[in-house]
Chains A and B, each alone.
Chain A
Amino acid sequence: MTITDFLLLAAAFVLLMVAIGLARILYGPADVDRILSVQLIGSGGVAVLLLLSVGMNLAPIMDVALMLGLLATFLAVTFLRDEANSSSISPSTTEER
């Protein structure tokens, strides 16, 4: 097995882990738990793309990883918006360090 094969296998493995982690979207009792899956696919997707970039020897794939990293953050903030807006009013605990 060459190093290229190993990297592609590692990419498949991480992708499989992410796929399994998506079950949290199914089970997660609250919406916040589903946002955790967004985080997982963000980091996992970046890992898969970086492994594919080096494994397939195509450097531009790293740009896709860069875009994915930025967008996953951005989407997590968007998805959290409703959670934050509809939560009950709590005292100054939200402002503490």
Chain B
Amino acid sequence: MRLALDIITVVLVSAGGFFFMAGTIGLLRFPDTLTRLHALTKVDNLGLGLIVFGLLPQVESRLGALKLIAIWLLVQMSGAIVSQLIAQAVRRSGRQT
């Protein structure tokens, strides 16, 4: 049982790390602010989400697991709103795609 949980953790955390790498590469290589923003939102959603789900099997207490998910939801929600604000700022400054 322990081994199965550990394997789940390794797979999910690695997948999350992969999305972090993808988001960073996108941030550096994409040509435009809006496209870079798109790459970043993957980091918030999938990168952090997969890492959180990968950590869930390792946490002993139920409260800790709830806290993990709550933190992920908070980062996701505020990340989504701030992305909208950033896109609005780009739009207002007149530099379109």
List chain A positions with a Cβ less than 8 A from chain B.
3, 6-7, 10, 13-14, 17-18, 20-21, 23-24, 27, 30, 32-33, 35-37, 39-40, 42-44, 46-47, 50-51, 54, 59, 62, 65-66, 69-70, 72-73, 76-77, 80, 83-84, 87-88, 90, 93-94
User: Once A and B bind, how many residue pairs between them come within 8 Å at the CB atom?
Assistant: 149
* Shortest CB distance A68–B (Å): 9
Please list the residues of chain B having a beta carbon within 8 angstroms of any beta carbon in chain A: 6, 9-10, 13-14, 16-17, 20-21, 23-24, 27-28, 33, 36-37, 40, 43-44, 47-48, 51-52, 55, 58-59, 61, 64, 67-68, 71, 74-75, 78-79, 81-83, 85-86, 88-95
Q: Which B residues lie within 8 Å of A10 (CB)?
A: 13-14, 16-17, 51
Q: Tell me the complex Cα distance, A30–B37, Å.
A: 13
